[in-house]
Chains A and B, each alone.
Chain A
Amino acid sequence: MLSLFGIALIILSIFTVIPAILAVVMKDLLACVIALAIMSLLLSLYFYLLHAPDVAIAEAGVGACITTALFIIAIRATQRKEVEK
């Protein structure tokens, strides 16, 4: 019998995996970066539920903000669409 905490963990892990798969599949790189930011934010919520608030704060600050800004700056300097070989 699952507890409410276990059900919340399962639902949250499913919602964390969906943006990660989308970031691999999608061709628009800007949309991939936004999906990665959403995944990082949900992952920080997951860390908080697993009693690691230290890691959650670091993940929310670095993963959801600074790497997103770095990826967007890199996309602006290169090209937005992924090309097929």
Chain B
Amino acid sequence: MNDGRMSIIVRTIATMLLPFILVFSFYVIMHGHLTPGGGFQGGAIAASAIVMMIAAYGHERMKKKVSEEGLSMAESIGAAIFALVAFAGVFMATSFMYNFLVGTPVFGKIPPFGGNSGILDSGGVLPILNIAVGMKVIGGLAAVVMIMAMAGDEE
């Protein structure tokens, strides 16, 4: 172990795999209302990509790219978006978490009856809530691993 990073083979493969894992996690988050998966699952996949980069490069180098303040900020922003969208149902419509976006241009298309392959532009507030949960899970899980990695070599 030289200063916390692994060999060049591991680093190269991890760097090559990173965009594919991030794109897959974004796919899982965005199709949360159509296919299996959702905010938590996609966020866990993206956090595992960050964990892979921490394992390959060491947390000292990773801290320059992704700071734990930024991760905590992503977590808080996700929780704030979730609460705002949920309370917007009270003020713009009738009840808490009311789906007030149905019929509007933002994720508002109503799918036809019968079997279809799924329309991404549907679901109302559900994709927005999925994105909020995804941000919160990415921030939380990656921050936990990064803070534990930093606490490990203090003594």
What is the interface residue range for chain A against chain B? 10 to 19
Within 8 A of A (CB), among B60-113: none
Say yes or no: is B141 at the interface (Cβ < 8 Å to chain A): yes
Write the chain B residue with the least CB distance to A63.
B44
Q: Is the CB–CB distance between A66 and B41 below 8 Å?
A: no
Q: Is the CB–CB distance between A62 and B44 below 8 Å?
A: yes
Q: Is the CB–CB distance between A53 and B36 below 8 Å?
A: yes
Interface residue total, chain B, C-beta cutoff 8 A: 23
The residue from B38, B141, B152 contacting A66, defined by CB atoms under 8 A apart: B141
Say yes or no: is A73 at the interface (Cβ < 8 Å to chain B): yes
**Which residues from chain A sit less than 8 Å from chain B, CB to CB?**
53-54, 56-58, 61-62, 65-66, 69-70, 73-74, 76-77
Return 18 A-B CB contacts under 8 Å, by A number: A57-B28, A57-B44, A58-B41, A58-B44, A61-B44, A65-B44, A65-B48, A65-B51, A65-B52, A66-B44, A70-B144, A70-B145, A73-B145, A73-B148, A73-B152, A74-B152, A76-B152, A77-B151
